[in-house]
Amino acid sequence: MNGPTFTIDGRSVPFTEGQSIIQAAREAGIYIPHLCYHPEFRPHGSCRLCVVEAGGRSVPACSTPAVAGQQVRNRTERLDRMRRTLVELLFVEGNHFCPACPKSGNCKLQAVGYWLRMLDTPFPYLFPRRELDASHHDVLLDRDRCIFCELCVRASREVDRKNLFAIGGKGTRCRLLVNSPDGRLGSSGLSLGDRALQVCPTGALLPRKGAFHVPVGRRLYDGRSIAESDE
Ligand code: SF4
Ligand code: FES
Protein backbone atom coordinates (compact mmCIF):
# COMPACT_ATOMS: atom_id res chain seq x y z
CA MET A 1 0.00 0.00 0.00
CA ASN A 2 1.29 3.42 -0.91
CA GLY A 3 1.30 5.84 2.01
CA PRO A 4 1.98 9.57 2.05
CA THR A 5 5.50 10.85 1.48
CA PHE A 6 7.39 14.11 1.66
CA THR A 7 10.99 14.90 0.81
CA ILE A 8 14.00 15.83 2.89
CA ASP A 9 16.79 17.37 0.84
CA GLY A 10 15.24 15.76 -2.22
CA ARG A 11 14.95 12.29 -0.72
CA SER A 12 11.50 10.74 -0.51
CA VAL A 13 10.42 9.95 3.07
CA PRO A 14 7.31 7.93 3.93
CA PHE A 15 5.35 8.85 7.03
CA THR A 16 2.17 8.02 8.87
CA GLU A 17 -0.42 10.64 9.67
CA GLY A 18 0.47 12.55 12.83
CA GLN A 19 4.19 11.83 12.69
CA SER A 20 6.51 14.77 13.11
CA ILE A 21 9.20 15.53 10.54
CA ILE A 22 11.91 14.25 12.88
CA GLN A 23 10.05 10.99 13.61
CA ALA A 24 9.66 10.23 9.92
CA ALA A 25 13.26 11.26 9.24
CA ARG A 26 14.56 8.92 11.95
CA GLU A 27 12.63 5.99 10.54
CA ALA A 28 14.13 6.76 7.14
CA GLY A 29 17.63 6.92 8.63
CA ILE A 30 18.01 10.66 8.09
CA TYR A 31 19.69 12.57 10.89
CA ILE A 32 18.25 15.91 11.89
CA PRO A 33 20.36 17.38 14.70
CA HIS A 34 18.61 17.73 18.04
CA LEU A 35 19.39 17.96 21.73
CA CYS A 36 16.10 18.36 23.58
CA TYR A 37 14.22 15.79 21.48
CA HIS A 38 14.04 12.15 22.54
CA PRO A 39 11.72 9.64 20.87
CA GLU A 40 10.25 8.55 24.22
CA PHE A 41 9.03 11.99 25.18
CA ARG A 42 6.80 14.76 23.94
CA PRO A 43 8.82 17.43 22.13
CA HIS A 44 10.05 20.29 24.22
CA GLY A 45 11.10 22.64 21.41
CA SER A 46 13.75 24.56 23.33
CA CYS A 47 17.13 23.83 21.73
CA ARG A 48 16.10 24.81 18.15
CA LEU A 49 18.82 22.61 16.67
CA CYS A 50 16.24 20.63 14.73
CA VAL A 51 14.94 23.64 12.81
CA VAL A 52 14.47 22.84 9.12
CA GLU A 53 12.98 24.74 6.18
CA ALA A 54 9.49 23.60 5.21
CA GLY A 55 6.75 25.41 3.34
CA GLY A 56 8.89 28.54 3.06
CA ARG A 57 9.37 28.79 6.83
CA SER A 58 11.88 27.70 9.44
CA VAL A 59 10.17 25.19 11.71
CA PRO A 60 11.28 22.81 14.47
CA ALA A 61 11.30 19.29 13.02
CA CYS A 62 10.53 17.80 16.45
CA SER A 63 7.15 19.47 16.79
CA THR A 64 6.07 20.05 13.19
CA PRO A 65 3.94 17.36 11.57
CA ALA A 66 5.04 15.89 8.27
CA VAL A 67 2.83 16.99 5.37
CA ALA A 68 2.35 14.95 2.19
CA GLY A 69 4.26 16.35 -0.76
CA GLN A 70 6.12 18.94 1.29
CA GLN A 71 9.74 19.68 0.44
CA VAL A 72 11.85 19.93 3.58
CA ARG A 73 15.42 21.17 3.62
CA ASN A 74 17.63 19.95 6.42
CA ARG A 75 21.25 20.29 5.34
CA THR A 76 21.71 23.82 4.09
CA GLU A 77 24.63 26.08 4.80
CA ARG A 78 22.34 28.59 6.51
CA LEU A 79 20.76 26.01 8.81
CA ASP A 80 24.05 24.40 9.74
CA ARG A 81 25.57 27.82 10.45
CA MET A 82 22.63 28.64 12.71
CA ARG A 83 22.98 25.27 14.47
CA ARG A 84 26.68 25.82 14.97
CA THR A 85 25.95 29.20 16.56
CA LEU A 86 23.39 27.61 18.90
CA VAL A 87 25.90 24.97 19.99
CA GLU A 88 28.60 27.60 20.44
CA LEU A 89 26.25 29.54 22.70
CA LEU A 90 25.59 26.41 24.77
CA PHE A 91 29.32 25.97 25.20
CA VAL A 92 29.94 29.54 26.36
CA GLU A 93 26.88 29.67 28.62
CA GLY A 94 27.93 26.61 30.60
CA ASN A 95 31.28 25.20 31.67
CA HIS A 96 32.02 22.34 29.31
CA PHE A 97 35.56 21.09 29.72
CA CYS A 98 35.30 18.08 27.44
CA PRO A 99 38.80 16.62 27.85
CA ALA A 100 38.26 16.32 31.61
CA CYS A 101 34.64 15.16 31.49
CA PRO A 102 33.88 11.48 32.15
CA LYS A 103 31.07 11.68 29.58
CA SER A 104 33.46 12.63 26.77
CA GLY A 105 32.78 10.39 23.79
CA ASN A 106 29.25 9.65 24.97
CA CYS A 107 28.04 13.24 25.16
CA LYS A 108 25.53 14.48 22.61
CA LEU A 109 26.52 18.12 22.98
CA GLN A 110 30.13 17.29 22.22
CA ALA A 111 29.15 14.93 19.39
CA VAL A 112 26.85 17.42 17.69
CA GLY A 113 29.59 20.05 18.01
CA TYR A 114 31.95 17.74 16.15
CA TRP A 115 29.30 16.93 13.56
CA LEU A 116 28.77 20.65 12.91
CA ARG A 117 32.54 21.11 12.67
CA MET A 118 32.58 23.55 15.53
CA LEU A 119 36.21 24.36 16.30
CA ASP A 120 35.95 27.42 18.50
CA THR A 121 33.49 30.19 19.19
CA PRO A 122 33.57 33.95 18.60
CA PHE A 123 31.48 34.47 21.75
CA PRO A 124 33.08 35.27 25.10
CA TYR A 125 32.92 32.46 27.66
CA LEU A 126 30.69 33.41 30.57
CA PHE A 127 32.12 30.91 33.08
CA PRO A 128 28.96 30.95 35.22
CA ARG A 129 29.18 29.84 38.82
CA ARG A 130 26.88 26.88 39.30
CA GLU A 131 26.56 24.69 42.35
CA LEU A 132 27.94 21.15 42.12
CA ASP A 133 25.83 18.58 43.96
CA ALA A 134 27.86 15.59 45.16
CA SER A 135 25.43 14.68 47.96
CA HIS A 136 24.14 11.49 46.32
CA HIS A 137 25.95 8.23 46.93
CA ASP A 138 25.68 7.02 43.34
CA VAL A 139 25.03 10.05 41.15
CA LEU A 140 26.81 13.35 40.62
CA LEU A 141 24.94 16.46 39.50
CA ASP A 142 27.37 18.77 37.76
CA ARG A 143 25.27 21.79 36.83
CA ASP A 144 28.16 23.21 34.80
CA ARG A 145 27.32 20.69 32.10
CA CYS A 146 23.55 21.16 32.06
CA ILE A 147 22.01 22.45 28.81
CA PHE A 148 18.44 22.75 30.17
CA CYS A 149 16.97 20.28 27.71
CA GLU A 150 14.51 19.15 30.41
CA LEU A 151 14.87 15.50 29.42
CA CYS A 152 15.52 14.54 33.04
CA VAL A 153 12.51 16.60 34.08
CA ARG A 154 10.25 14.77 31.63
CA ALA A 155 11.73 11.33 32.34
CA SER A 156 11.48 11.71 36.11
CA ARG A 157 7.88 12.88 35.85
CA GLU A 158 6.60 10.57 33.12
CA VAL A 159 8.66 7.38 33.43
CA ASP A 160 10.13 7.28 36.94
CA ARG A 161 7.00 8.90 38.42
CA LYS A 162 9.15 10.82 40.90
CA ASN A 163 9.04 14.38 39.57
CA LEU A 164 12.50 15.12 40.95
CA PHE A 165 13.66 17.89 38.63
CA ALA A 166 12.65 21.31 37.37
CA ILE A 167 14.34 24.23 35.66
CA GLY A 168 14.36 27.47 37.63
CA GLY A 169 15.52 30.99 36.79
CA LYS A 170 15.90 32.73 33.46
CA GLY A 171 18.66 33.34 30.92
CA THR A 172 22.12 32.97 32.41
CA ARG A 173 20.54 32.38 35.84
CA CYS A 174 18.83 29.19 34.67
CA ARG A 175 19.52 26.24 36.99
CA LEU A 176 18.44 22.65 37.33
CA LEU A 177 16.49 22.37 40.58
CA VAL A 178 16.11 19.20 42.62
CA ASN A 179 12.77 18.53 44.21
CA SER A 180 13.83 17.19 47.62
CA PRO A 181 13.54 18.39 51.24
CA ASP A 182 16.89 20.23 51.13
CA GLY A 183 17.08 20.77 47.36
CA ARG A 184 19.95 18.30 47.07
CA LEU A 185 20.24 15.07 45.15
CA GLY A 186 21.18 12.94 48.17
CA SER A 187 17.76 13.24 49.76
CA SER A 188 15.82 13.11 46.48
CA GLY A 189 15.08 9.41 46.03
CA LEU A 190 16.91 9.29 42.68
CA SER A 191 18.28 5.84 41.96
CA LEU A 192 20.79 4.52 39.49
CA GLY A 193 18.14 2.81 37.39
CA ASP A 194 16.11 5.99 36.89
CA ARG A 195 15.37 6.94 33.29
CA ALA A 196 16.09 10.56 34.22
CA LEU A 197 19.71 9.66 34.70
CA GLN A 198 19.97 7.64 31.51
CA VAL A 199 18.50 10.26 29.15
CA CYS A 200 20.74 13.15 30.19
CA PRO A 201 22.57 13.96 26.94
CA THR A 202 25.56 15.50 28.68
CA GLY A 203 27.60 14.70 31.79
CA ALA A 204 25.35 16.80 34.02
CA LEU A 205 23.71 13.78 35.65
CA LEU A 206 26.31 11.08 35.87
CA PRO A 207 26.78 7.80 37.75
CA ARG A 208 29.68 8.24 40.12
CA LYS A 209 31.14 4.81 39.64
CA GLY A 210 32.16 3.14 36.43
CA ALA A 211 32.62 6.34 34.43
CA PHE A 212 35.68 4.84 32.73
CA HIS A 213 34.51 1.24 32.31
CA VAL A 214 34.43 1.95 28.60
CA PRO A 215 37.79 3.53 27.84
CA VAL A 216 38.08 6.79 25.94
CA GLY A 217 38.48 5.91 22.29
CA ARG A 218 35.87 3.15 22.42
CA ARG A 219 32.83 5.22 23.29
CA LEU A 220 29.63 5.76 21.34
CA TYR A 221 30.74 8.77 19.31
CA ASP A 222 34.50 8.13 19.30
CA GLY A 223 34.50 6.12 16.09
CA ARG A 224 31.27 7.27 14.48
CA SER A 225 29.51 10.59 14.14
CA ILE A 226 26.30 11.31 15.98
CA ALA A 227 24.50 11.10 12.65
CA GLU A 228 25.48 7.43 12.46
CA SER A 229 24.94 6.63 16.14
CA ASP A 230 21.79 8.62 16.85
CA GLU A 231 19.69 6.97 19.53
FE1 SF4 B 1 19.16 18.03 30.29
FE2 SF4 B 1 20.93 16.64 31.79
FE3 SF4 B 1 20.44 19.25 32.34
FE4 SF4 B 1 18.59 17.40 32.86
S5 SF4 B 1 20.63 17.55 33.83
S6 SF4 B 1 18.23 19.39 31.88
S7 SF4 B 1 18.87 15.96 31.16
S8 SF4 B 1 21.37 18.41 30.45
FE1 FES C 1 13.56 20.32 18.34
FE2 FES C 1 15.27 20.76 20.42
S3 FES C 1 15.08 19.01 19.16
S4 FES C 1 13.83 22.14 19.47
Same CATH topology for 18-75 and 83-210?
Answer: no
In the reported structure, the alpha carbon of residue 174 is separated from the centroid of ligand 1 by a whole-number distance in angstroms of: 12
The three-state secondary structure class of 205 is strand
Sign of CA dihedral 112, 62, 145, 224: negative
- Residues 6+ away with beta carbon under 8 Å from 230: 26, 31
pLDDT value of position 8: 98
Q: What is the CATH number of domain 18-75?
A: 3.10.20.740
In the reported structure, the alpha carbon of residue 11 is separated from the centroid of ligand 1 by a whole-number distance in angstroms of: 33
The alpha carbon torsion through 93, 57, 21, 82 (nearest 10 deg) reads: -30
pLDDT value of position 134: 97
The three-state secondary structure class of 222 is coil
Instruction: Please answer whether residues 83 and 33 qualify as being in contact, where contact means their C-beta atoms are separated by less than 8 angstroms.
Output: yes
- Residues 6+ away with beta carbon under 8 Å from 85: none
Among candidate residues 179, 204, 207, the one with its CA nearest the CA of residue 193: 207
Instruction: Please answer whether residues 71 and 171 qualify as being in contact, where contact means their C-beta atoms are separated by less than 8 angstroms.
Output: no
pLDDT value of position 172: 82
Choose which residue among 106, 110, 176 to substitute to test ligand 1 binding: the one with the highest number of ligand atoms within 8 A of its C-beta.
176
Choose which residue among 35, 42, 90, 199 to substitute to test ligand 2 binding: the one with the highest number of ligand atoms within 8 A of its C-beta.
35
What are the pLDDT digits (tens) for 34-47? 999 999 999 999 99
Query: What architecture is domain 83-210?
Result: 2-Layer Sandwich (3.30)
Mean pLDDT by 10 residues, the chain (231 residues): 91 97 97 97 96 96 98 98 98 94 96 96 95 97 97 98 96 93 97 97 94 89 90 68
Quote the mean pLDDT of the chain.
Answer: 95
36 touches ligand 2 (CB under 6 Å): yes
Domain residue limits, the chain? 18-75, 83-210
